[in-house]
Amino acid sequence: MSTTSLTTNEYNLLSAAESTAKSSAATSSSSGSSSSTSSTAALSSLANNYTTFLTLLTTQLQHQDPSSPMSSDSFTSELVQFAGVEQQVQTNSKLSSLISLNESGQLSADSALVGSKATATSTTLPLQNSSATLNYKGTSGQTVAIAVSNSSGTIVKDDLVTASSGTNTWTWDGTDNSGNKLSDGAYSVAVKTMDSSGTTSDVSFTVTGTITGIQTGTNDMEVQMGGATIPMSSLVNVSSSSSSSSSSSSTSSGTSSSSTTGS
């Protein structure tokens, strides 16, 4: 949006929202690049330690002093440690198999959610069919800044809106600040407000989208909303896709809009 007509406070508020959106995009990118290799590496390390222990034990037996052999108590203690390490390796392996089976069952059960409309507490804003929606709580007359960033950390859309008391709905039509239509996918979003002293703060919000798929993540089941992926644990509501909401006017600029629903 144009910054030429903004007051200093409005400019600072938008800048704060943009900074947070960029930070969210960077965090999403780094977390997406990490995989479940940590658990595999841990199991591999434990197996290597077990092999090393066996080598050390046999070497110790080969080079012990015949005139003063290792006591049976020490030998038994080391054998017990050896057996414990081996059992831990096997336990971890079986546990991984059980987790995999449980995830498969959960995946089948959660597949029934595909096609439903879901609301989630997430900074990932799903743009589907050139439409994205978020909801936030506000007070009457409160100025709120909303900034949207793409995956590379570039701000593509920002907006200043005047909130109404209760739950406010902001809708984005997928066009950037220059009016260019952007492709569907996952975007990072931030919502900020400013108090009378000029101090900015985060505004809690939720995003809404249609579930198009279910997949297993590193630590949780994940739902896909088009090109966006959100942890299942972040969902706060799932409903049929045929839901509707009331809307009213706002001060948002461009082609994005903000509607309100009383609390």
Last residue of a domain, one of 88, 113, 138: 113
What pLDDT sits at residue 43?
59
Selected residue with higher pLDDT from 81 and 82: 81
Identify the pLDDT of residue 166.
94
| Confidence band for 177, pLDDT divided at 50, 70 and 90 | very high
pLDDT higher than threshold 70 for residue 103: no
Specify whether 128 is located in the same domain as 203: yes
Q: Do 219 and 120 share a domain, yes or no?
A: yes
Range of the domain at 121: 115-240
In this structure, the answer to whether residues 156 and 93 fall within a common structural domain is no
| Statement to judge: residues 102 and 119 lie in one domain | no
| pLDDT value at residue 254 | 40
Beta bridge partners of 213: 224
Residue 151 lies in a domain: yes
Residues 123 and 88 in one domain: no
Question: DSSP readout, the chain?
Answer: ---TT--HHHHHHHHHHHHHHHHHHHHHHHHHH--THHHHHHHHHHHHHHHHHHHHHHHHHHTS-TTSPPPHHHHHHHHHHHHHHHHHHHHHHHHHHHHHHHHHHHHHHHGGGTT-EEEE--SEEEEBTTBEEEEEEE-TT-EEEEEEE-TTS-EEEEEEEE--SEEEEEEE-SB-TTSPBPPSEEEEEEEEEE-TTS-EEE--EEEEEE--EEEE-SSSEEEEETTEEEEGGGEEEEE-TT-----------TT-EEEEE--
Mean pLDDT of 95-122: 76
pLDDT for 140 equals 94
Across 2-11, 141-150, 209-218, which has the greatest mean pLDDT?
A: 141-150
Do residue 196 and residue 149 come from a single domain?
A: yes
Residue 84 pLDDT > 80: no
| More confident of the two residues 116 and 38 | 116
pLDDT at 233 over 80: yes
Q: Give the pLDDT score at 201.
A: 95
pLDDT computed for residue 51 by the predictor:
76
pTM for the model: 0.66
- Residue 164 and residue 185 in one domain: yes
pLDDT of residue 72: 65
**One domain for residues 103 and 126:** no
At residue 161, the pLDDT reads 95
Phi/psi class of residue 40: alpha, beta or left (left: φ > 0; alpha: ψ in -120 to 50)? alpha
Residue 202 domain-assigned (yes or no): yes
Higher confidence at residue 88 or residue 127? Answer: 127
- Find the range with the poorest average confidence among 41-50, 60-69, 71-80, 133-142: 41-50
* Among 100, 109, 64, 57, CA closest to 80: 57
Query: With b meaning 16 or more CB within 10 Å and e meaning fewer, what string describes 12-40?
Result: bbbbbbbbbbbebbeebeeeeeeeeeeee
* Mean pLDDT of all residues belonging to the chain: 80
Residues 234 and 124 in one domain: yes
The verdict on residue 63 lying in a domain is no
pLDDT given at position 256: 46
The answer to whether residue 127 sits within a structural domain is: yes
150 and 171 inside one domain: yes
In this structure, the answer to whether residues 120 and 220 fall within a common structural domain is: yes
Query: What is the number of domains present in the chain?
Result: 2
Residue 54 in any domain: the answer is no
Express as a percent the part of the chain with pLDDT over 70.
Answer: 70
Residue 49 lies in a domain: no
| CATH code at position 124 | 2.60.40.4070
The last residue of a domain, from among 84, 113, 142: 113
